[in-house]
Amino acid sequence: MSLPALPTAGLLLLRNADVFAPEALGRRDVLLGGGKVLWLGAPGEAPVSDAVERIDLAGRRLIPGLIDGHVHVTGGGGEAGFRTRVPPMKLSQFTTAGVTTVVGLLGTDDVARSTRDLVATLSALREEGLSAYGHTGGYHLPPATLTGSVRGDIVFVDALIGVGEVALSDHRSSQPTLDELLRLASDAHVAGMMTGKAGIVHLHLGDGARGLDLVTRALDASELPPRVFQPTHVNRRRALFDEALVLANRGCSVDITAFPVADGEDAWSAADALVRYLDSGAPPDRVTISSDAGGCLPCFDAQGHVCGMDVGQSGALLATLADLLAAGVPLERALPAFTRNVADLLRLPRKGRIAPGADADLVALDAAHAASLVIARGRVHVRDGRAVLRGTFEQ
């Protein structure tokens, strides 16, 4: 079978865009070429000939491509037997949701799923035109690795930028001690220093009453910079969210998960959590939102048995953004948690923003806040809301 080649990232002029970079810039034209933003300026002033391909956005909002910082690209699940393993995600599941960069990881199943499989899946997504990174390890300690150590994985494997999702305050975790968490965080931090990568520990938080106590103790007991620790799912309990605000004020970045929340549940929806975070006065650059896409979202009975499950979707990010806009939150206030904040934490300086020299990862939103045009690394993946580029096994 002969596979079609990806189209080259040639010159493309986006005209009459209402640009949020993520700050509001107003009406602009944007010139793309070679997978980068080449020029950004007033409509009609782009230094190009008439032969350059043009797309007129007619005033639609243009935002940076979303960065989904918590994705089970190989599929998650497995808590109720092998039949409950979630299948791997496909390219268009990300692009049609406005996601142009993913960070893949392993979860509960870091035995049947491996770091080797994760790296191969990230490489495949890169070949298909997405920007894809990952964390070594999984829920448990000692962590699942490719080279034999966390430091080795981050230093020698290009796609791996941190470690996670390491489970805390959860009956599925390996119940790590303070010393174990400090050693893991030290390895990630030093590897990040050596490579310029994020070098973070991405921490899954469960429903346990201990909450973020172990992270607080780690900050008190070490010289490690707070940015090394990034707890996620912090909106799953309201008391846990209050603890996360304290950590954010100490220098940690905290990650809100865009999972469904039922009426009366002791949790905050992602939209509610972001509003509460921003209104609290905590540093606005230390909050991110991810989807848990591809991950199993189980519920457990008192004996720890799975009594129901759902699967996370990257589409939850744009749905959360729509909820925020419907609640009257300005787009430029909401957008950094999905874009620039994530890029800065992960030390991806060309992601999460629209500016000359940045990667050409862009999303145009329609009136319903859905992705009408998606460009990843300079290539059009979605046009008029439909995927025009699909993964190898989606053809």
List, by residue number, the catalytic residues: 292
Judge whether 204 is annotated as a binding position: yes
Q: Was 109 annotated as part of a binding site?
A: no
Listed in sequence order, the residues at least 6 apart from 276 whose beta carbon sits closer than 8 Å to its beta carbon are 241, 268
3-state helix, strand, coil in the chain (%, to 5): 30, 30, 45
Q: What is the 3-state secondary structure (H, E, C) of 175-227?
A: CCCHHHHHHHHHHHHHHHHHHCCCCEEEEEECCCCCCCHHHHHHHHHCCCCHH
Q: Could you tell me whether strands 362-365 and 371-376 are parallel, antiparallel, or unpaired per DSSP bridges?
A: antiparallel
Closest CA to 353 of 66, 52, 138: 66
Annotated binding residue at 135? no
User: Is 70 annotated to bind ligand?
Assistant: yes
Distances (CA, A) of 83 to 79, 89, 139, 252: 9, 16, 20, 37
User: For residues 111 and 115, what is the distance between their CA atoms, to the nearest angstrom?
Assistant: 9
Partners of 164 in the beta sheet?
202
Please state the residue numbers annotated as binding site for Zn(2+): 70, 72, 204, 233, 292
Q: Annotated binding residues, as ranges?
A: 70, 72, 204, 233, 292
